[in-house]
Structure 1
Amino acid sequence: MTRFEFTVDTHLFRELGELLVGRDSTALIELIKNAYDADASVVRVRGVNLGRNGTIEITDDGVGMTGQVFRTAFLRIAGRYKEGGERISPVFGRRYTGAKGVGRLSAHKLARTLEIYSIPRAGVFTSDPEEGNSGVHAVIDWDALENENETLDRISSGLTVELADSMAQKSGTRLILRGLKSSWTPTQLRRFTDELHAARPATELITPPGAEMVRQESLLGPAQYWTTGNDDPGFTILMEGDLQTGEDFFGTLVQRSHWLLEIDALGPVVRFGIQPTVNTFDRDEEARSYFFEKPHPNPSEGPFFSARIYARESRLATDRASDLARFNQRRGGIRVYLEGFRVLPYGGAKDDWLGLDRDYARRPRSFDIDLDSSALTELPPQEKEGFLSQGNDQYFGAVFLTARGAATLRPVVNREGFVEDESFELLRNLVRAGVDLVTRARAARLRNKQEEERAAEEEELRTSVYDDRSRETPTEPKGSPPSASPPTPPPSSDIQRTIRNPIITARQELVILGGAEDLSADLLPQVERAKSALDLAESRARAWEDERVMLRVLAGVGLQLAAFVHEINGLQGQANSIRDLAGYAIGTQDPKETTKLLRTLSEAVDTLAQSLARQSSYLTDIVGPDARRRRRRIRLTELADTSIDFLTQSMADRGIRLEVDMQSGVKTLPIFPAEATIITTNLLTNAIKAAGPGGRIRLRGYEAADGRVVITVENTGVAVDLSDSERWFKPFESTTTEMDIVLGQGLGLGLPITRRMVEEYGGMATFVAPSNGFSTAVEVSLPAQGVRRD
């Protein structure tokens, strides 16, 4: 009977060798990985005469091969040698980087002949009864193997194997690739060597930065970028001969960076750390770090990874042909490493796997970063933040994956990259979120810097106008307008700095000009028109100030709006409950049940009435006509009455005790009642949230020795670092995202609004050292001008 069976054509070598490995550098790296899997600590890769089809030698000090291992593993195509057990190496416990058993066929892609010398390490392999622990010397002629043999099971030429004596010889394997199929031009050779040298991550990306680079501890510490045992000495690749390259500039790239991004996505929580480097602090001492957390999108399957990425804010050199710029172009970018070996093509010069070059070209206005509300509160979206987007060449970093953490990522068949499925998108989105957070942090720093510079310019203008007058006003002639200017308003007011002060200066100059004896009569009408224009400007400034008062009041109302809507929904639920109770009371025939329902109904109505009264009273006090019609002096003992009434139930629900110590007989300067209520409400709501359940709050008001009226709110919650306390007066800086139906949501606007209102009256709002028994204190002081005692 005829027997049918499968046979494998020798052309399989060409098909696998050519198709399973995409490029020459990938093929050579696959052979280097074999040395890693063999527990080598050092592998030397020497290129000789590579421009003219020369040779490549790969020599390692690993465990080597016996004749049996060579026969059952190296010569078996797609074998299972590395698939047994936990797939770890025998000596150092490294996770095998090869899985298909075809990596050695990379040699077929590179050269026509492969020569192998291998000596096994004693005690690693089981001794063969016939061969013992003999080593191997083999030569594979790929052309002869394919051309002179039809099938792999009947090879008569192209392969020669001899056993080698392993006694008194160091273990390891030496591969010699002769008759290289490529003759590399200098440009091709440089690209080839760059890809080889990038096979392993730079030491600067593995080790955390020191205190001379960043001010806070690294989020990651030393990067865990490969799976190995405790005794592993490491794996060093030495490039020799034609494969040598010049000096590397990795350390310089780190030193030139401005921001450090670290991502820890190794568990169910993804952590982001964004820190300014010393270069950023040199420009802005107030630059700050950010640390965020979010649940892992797929905590059961991953992918799990870590990343360390440095970002620059400026170009490396004006001369793009400089050595550093060329090095960055070839070796920069954000690259991906699996078990310590680079995954091509990610991070290469023409690769844009994170879409950074794309967004640098189109400049989106903003980023859609998937983070929880607390992170968005601490670092909110910035106006036109996308305009600060940068391309790949402004980043230098690595994403570290292990085989276990990358189990859901599927490699492409030619070993270049991963299949872009849902798992890969998750990896890409998390890394891109971190990069976008760096851009957002840069935008926030730029915004703060611009605000500080603007404030400094205004202060300089105010000083030059009012404190550095260098010329006297000439005697005014008869009939000229009086030169006396209106009293200078408090310098702390924005409207005074930006509008009134320049108007006053212009009026003074016009008075001087109008009184000059040598002024041409033709110019007098123009001077009068300028004075009329100033009168109009002053009128509009007064109208603007009135409008700004209302806007400040509305800002305070806005802080309660989300909570008020929330409570209205609660009131609707209470009303529905009352309706249902009334229906049950009407329908029941049992007098006792009716009494019980009516009692419950009465309590529900009372709760509803209290809720309505609380919100109605508060809103009436801050937006009613009397609250903003005119300023009036308010007794300290009455200053916080509305706020306390509004918040009493919230404090009772939390078990918080309020101590009030307001000096009697003292009144404030004239102030809008609505603004006074907003100030005290903001201070107390912040204190209630900070104090927490069972806490204590102290409200104190008194007249200081210099006549100022001081209001202090202290609480027993978490202490605020006074050296960093100014950040909490910046918009959207909040320690909580809690939504409370009375206290509102922590949006980080309460303190900034409070400070702006207080400064409008020439006062100050700051964190101060708390009294004994308290953790945090906020102090508001109003100026002595106009303070009145009864």
Structure 2
Amino acid sequence: MATAKEKELDKGQLAFRAEARLLQELGERLVAQPEVALVELIKNSYDADATECRVAFSADQKALCVCDDGHGMTKEEFESRWMTIATSKKAIDRTSRKYQRDLTGQKGIGRFAVRFLGTSLQVISVAEDAKRGCLTKLVADFDWQKIDENDSLVDTEVPYRLFKAGPDDKEGTTLRISGLRRGGEFASGPSFRSGVLKIVSPISGLDRGRFKRAKSRADRDPGFRVALPGEDDSSTINVAEYVLENAWARLAIDLKNNALEYKVSFSQEDFEYQLQLDYPSAIAAGLHADIRFFPRRAGLFADKGVDGRTAYTWVKENSGVVVVDRGFRVKPYGDVDDDWLSLDRDSARHVRDWRTSIAEVAFPMSTRQKAEPALNPMLNLPANHQLIGAVFVRSASVQAVSSIEDIIPSTDREGFLRTQGFEQLTEIIRGGIEFLAHIDKQRQLEEQERAAKQAAKQIKADFKAAIEFVQNVPTLSVAERSRLVKDYSTLSRRIEEVEEYDREARRKLEVMGSLGVVAGFLTHEASRIVTTVHDAVSLLTALSDTHQELQPHVEILTESYDALKAHLEYTKLFVDAAHSFKAVSFKCAPQVKRIAEKFGKFAHDHGVEIKIEISPDVQVPAMPITIYSGIILNLYTNALKAVIAAETPSYVAEICFRAWTAANQHVIEVLDTGVGIPENLASRIWDPLFTTTSRLNNPLGSGMGLGLSLVKQLVEQVRGKIALVEAPAPYSTCFRVSFPLSEKK
């Protein structure tokens, strides 16, 4: 039998091979759009310490020239950098040679942008050559079609010539690209030029914070300019500066060393709203953002030197929050239809909850704020067309990255990889915009309150002036004068009463919001206590068989346990109702029967008769069951209190539930023969913390005045209505609740 060694036919080492078509593949796949390809070449000029990069097209649009005045490349630099695929040189040297600029190139593959743009390339580079002791001029020619035909990339040769530069040659690099793809028509439209400018020159006037382009200590960076075909519109710059300076509000965001800070300021105000948070992140270099807010508010651009229509047109054309990495804008963030912060989507869907955990923790909304559109700041969330801003970052190099979760550019130069750092970037910026919406809504409500107070003050002043005027009109009789003065005085006093009522109602609503939080906590804790009491009752019941003296105590404890359990279930229904949004349709009668049984024993022990006059086929429209149960249970317990409080010897203690379907509505009534509600108090029963049972002494307690106010909110939450209506004999009170059976068309 042959051994393994005898079967072996060959051994050795194999090397990777690559066809020359790899360059075509890289050019096609690493760059996605013409303007992105061109920007990659402009970035190379910036990294070469150029002060200007000029871009020009031939008259027939078939050739493109990119020329800069940077330090150029020697023959050795061209060979080691340009001719070496995916060189790590820029990953090692992260600042430019002369001006210490942050290098924008990261993978050594930006040169393949020329392969994307055209079929041939000529590189002309003039550089100071220390090895040769003179200024040299390198000329290299790339014919991409011939290169693609080679079987091996290693065997591919690019012809070059090296000259001693002449007296008219200046340092810099020129790229001449011919055979432009699609005949170069991509460059003929204004959108191409606009797209390049938006990437190369993000909106001036926005604060870059510590991400300003670096200045060296030895040579002050004179700046960098890109010259594109066509004339610049200087008026655009003037409009930009004017509009940004007159924004309604400004949001500044800064993340440094895991410390996150938000600052919001408003036009012509010195005061800043600040929020500081600890925010451990994977973004090593941190970030800085400057975002301006332009809502359609009266007088925003009035009397400020530029026509408002011109200003709003500029806002529309430049709107969005863009991302700027090492001085250059990253596509597609902030482009038209690029809703990377989900602002437009949430506005269109009228989302009412904060999206970020930052907002949920730092400035949470109350249940009332979520429920009422006039109070909900999320419904005030700025949309993309109302914002102009930029987020400045310094992404990590793929070769020299310290953490794979940092912000890392994607290979095609469009966007970032979906790392933890990018997710945190999105969360931080979105959280800042939510903070802006929170503060803006808060200021709007404060302004509305100030305006209301001023209006009331003015009305009272007008009444006072009217009284003085009436008293001095000689043609009025004494009786007429007295009557008018009395009427005006009464109106003025009623305005003061309304103001006091409004202040008291606001205070009570704030208390209700706090009580809602407390109720949720206490319900959770009480569940554990009820379980413990149940175990204690069971133990004492067993012991009472042999210790008869415990019997009376067991009965009292059992009754207390039943009452506590019922109260807990009652409270839990309301807490669950506030958080339940699953809508289903169900039969009315069985649900009402279950609710009535909650206090069935209590009603029986106190001689209260419960009637349920509901047909088995009555259907409740789709809504959360807990909401319906909470509404009926509250009306039921109120009726029990009222019935027990009535002390007339001959009267019949009775509670009745009625329900039916009529006129496309589900209607349910809760009636009782109790003490009734005085007519002068009927309009106040819906007020928070107002109670008519505090004067009653009964086993169910006096109540806090929360029930009917909460019931009304729950009813309206599911598009229903509740009213106190005239009760038919023999009943003294009737609450009627109605719900639509279908959505209004």
TM-score interval, smaller chain: 0.5 to 0.7
1:190 aligns with 2:182: no
Change (3 A) 1:454 1:105: same
One-letter code of the match for 2:42? I
Give, in whole Å, the separation in 2 of the partners of 1:556 and 1:240.
Answer: 63
Aligned to 2:272: 289
Residues in 1 aligned to 2:516 and 2:294: alpha-carbon distance in whole angstroms:
41
Match of 1:145 in 2: 147
For residue 38 of structure 1, what is the aligned residue in structure 2? 48
Question: Following TM superposition, by how much is the alpha carbon of 1:309 offset from its aligned partner in structure 2, in angstroms?
Answer: 1.0
Which residue of the partner structure matches residue 340 of structure 1? Answer: 327
CA contact (8 A) 1:227 1:402 kept: no
Q: Take 1:246 and 1:177, find their aligned partners in 2: how far apart are those partners?
A: 30
Q: Within the alignment, does 1:425 sit opposite 2:423 as a pair? A: yes
Out of 296, 313, 321, the residue aligned to residue 314 of structure 1 is 296
For 1:349, the equivalent position in structure 2 comes to 336
Distance 1:317 1:48, change over 3 A: farther
Deviations 1:699-746 (A, max 9, x none): xxxxxxxxxxxxxxxxxxxxxxxxxxxxxxxxxxxxxxxxxxxxxxxx
- Does residue 75 (structure 1) correspond to residue 83 (structure 2)? The answer is yes
Query: Is the aligned partner of 1:394 residue 2:386?
Result: yes
Alignment of 1:688-703 (within 5 A): none
Q: TM-score, normalised by structure 2?
A: 0.57
Aligned to 2:114: 107
Equivalent residues in 2 for 1:18-167, closer than 5 Å: 18-49=28-59, 52-84=60-92, 86-121=93-128, 127=131, 134-147=136-149, 149-155=150-156, 159-166=158-165
Distance, in Å, in 1 between the alignment partners of 2:513 and 2:334 is 46
**1:514-556 deviation digits (Å, cap 9, x = unpaired):** xxxxxxxxxxxxxxxxxxxxxxxxxxxxxx79xx989979989
Question: Relative to 1, partners in 2 of residues 1:186 and 1:107: Cα closer, same or farther, differing over 3 Å?
Answer: closer
After TM superposition, give the deviation of residue 297 of structure 1 in Å: 3.2
Contact persistence 2:326–2:394 (CA under 8 A): yes
Deviation of 1:18 (Å): 0.7
Paired residue secondary structure (2:111):
helix
Q: Give 1:227 deviation, angstroms.
A: 5.2
Within a 5 Å distance, the mapping from 1:360-509 to structure 2 comes to 360-367=347-354, 370-371=357-358, 376=363, 383-403=375-395, 408-469=406-467, 470-471=469-470, 474=477, 485=486, 495-496=496-497
**Cα distance change on mapping 1:311 and 1:223 into 2, 3 Å:** farther
AA in 1 matched with 2:47: D
Q: Distance in 1 between matches of 2:391 and 2:505?
A: 52
CA distance in structure 2 between the partners assigned to 1:292 and 1:239 by the alignment: 41
Provide the rounded CA distance (Å) in 2 between the counterparts of 1:186 and 1:83.
32
Cα distance between partner residues in 2 of 1:555 and 1:18:
61
Question: Residue type matched to 1:452 in 2?
Answer: R
Q: Name the CA distance, whole Å, in 2 between partners of 1:54 and 1:9.
A: 28
Q: What displacement does 1:185 show?
A: 5.4
Structure 1 residues 371 and 444: alpha-carbon distance in aligned structure 2, compared to 1, 3 A threshold: same
TM-score (norm 1): 0.54
Change (3 A) 1:490 1:236: same
- Give, in angstroms, the shift of residue 78 of structure 1: 1.7
> Which residue does 1:13 correspond to in 2?
23
User: Contact between 1:118 and 1:172, CA under 8 Å: does it hold in 2?
Assistant: yes
- For the 8 Å contact 1:121–1:172, the answer to whether it is kept is no
CA distance, structure 2, for counterparts of residue 402 and residue 550 of structure 1: 51
1:270 alignment partner in structure 2: 260
Taking the TM superposition and a 5 Å limit, the aligned residue runs for 1:605-616 are none
2:182 partner letter: S
Instruction: Give the Å deviation of 1:62.
Output: 1.3
Q: Which amino acid aligns with 1:267?
A: N
Tell whether the 8 Å contact from 1:253 to 1:396 is kept in structure 2 after alignment. Answer: no
Q: In the alignment, what sits opposite 2:251?
A: 261
Q: Post-superposition shift, 1:404?
A: 5.3
- Residue identity opposite 2:240 in structure 1: F
> 2:636 matched to which residue of 1?
none
Cα 1:71/1:496, change in 2 over 3 Å: same
- Aligned to 2:56, the other structure's residue is in SS state strand
Q: 2-side partners of 1:256 and 1:554: how far apart?
A: 37
Q: Which amino acid aligns with 2:161?
A: E
- 1:239 and 2:239 aligned: no
2 CA distance for matches of 1:27 and 1:333?
Answer: 23
User: For residues 484 and 27 of structure 1, do their structure 2 counterparts lie closer, same or farther at Cα, with a shift above 3 Å needed?
Assistant: closer
Q: Does 1:175 align with 2:175?
A: yes
Change (3 A) 1:332 1:261: same
Deviations 1:141-181 (A, max 9, x none): 2122223x33222236xx32100213654311111112211
Give me the whole-angstrom Cα distance separating, in 2, the residues matched to 1:364 and 1:558.
Answer: 21
User: How many Å separate the matches in 1 of 2:122 and 2:509?
Assistant: 83
Change (3 A) 1:122 1:107: same
Identity %: 23
- The Cα of 1:461 is off from its aligned counterpart by 2.3
Change (3 A) 1:373 1:337: closer
Partner secondary structure for residue 204 of structure 1: coil
User: CA 1:166–1:490 in structure 2 vs 1: closer, same or farther (change >3 Å)?
Assistant: same
Cα separation, partners in 2 of 1:110 and 1:360, compared to 1, 3 Å: same
SS in 1 for 2:276: strand
**Are the aligned partners of 2:255 and 2:286 in contact in 1 as well (CA < 8 Å)?**
yes
C-alpha separation in 2, matches of 1:332 and 1:565: 43
Q: Provide closer, same or farther for how the CA distance between residues 562 and 177 of structure 1 changes in structure 2, counting only shifts above 3 A.
A: closer
The 1:455/1:175 distance shift into structure 2, 3 A limit, reads: same
Instruction: Please show how residues 453-602 of structure 1 align to structure 2 within 5 Å.
Output: 453-469=451-467, 470-471=469-470, 474=477, 485=486, 495-496=496-497
Q: Using the alignment, how far apart are the partners of 2:53 and 2:507 within structure 1?
A: 70
Q: Is the 8 A contact 1:95 1:403 kept in 2?
A: no
Q: Which residue among 255, 274, 286 is the counterpart of 1:304?
A: 286
Q: For residue 367 of structure 1, what is the amino acid of its counterpart?
A: W
Deviation at 1:115, TM superposition (A): 1.3
Deviation at 1:223, TM superposition (A): 4.7
**Structure 1 residue ranges without an equivalent (≥5):** 208-219, 282-286, 500-543, 567-790
Which letter maps to 1:82? Answer: K
Equivalent residue letter for 1:116: V
Letter matched to residue 151 of structure 1: S
Listed one character per residue, the Cα deviations across residues 500-526 of structure 1 (whole Å, up to 9, x for unaligned) are xxxxxxxxxxxxxxxxxxxxxxxxxxx
| Contact 2:211 2:392 (8 Å CA) reproduced | yes
How far the C-alpha of 1:259 sits from its partner, in A, is 0.7
Given the superposition, is the C-alpha separation of residues 73 and 184 from structure 1 closer, same or farther in structure 2, using an over 3 Å criterion?
closer
Give the superposition deviation at 1:436: 1.6
Q: CA RMSD in A?
A: 4.5
Offset at 1:99?
A: 2.4
> How has the CA–CA distance of structure 1 residues 201 and 275 changed in structure 2, closer, same or farther, with 3 Å as cutoff?
farther
Which digits, 9 at most, give the CA deviation of each residue in 1:401-423, with x for residues without a partner? 11359960122221100122322
Secondary structure of the equivalent of 1:139? strand
Q: Contact 1:27 / 1:106 at 8 angstroms: preserved in 2?
A: yes
Letter of the 1:193 partner, please give it: R
The answer to whether the Cα contact below 8 Å between 1:56 and 1:176 also exists between their aligned partners in 2 is yes
Structure 2: segments with no counterpart, 5+ residues: 1-9, 522-745
Q: Aligned partner of 1:161: which letter?
A: Y
How far apart, CA to CA, are the structure 2 residues paired with 1:323 and 1:551?
42
1:284-306 residue CA offsets vs partner (Å, 9 max, x unmatched): xxx953011111232x6546100
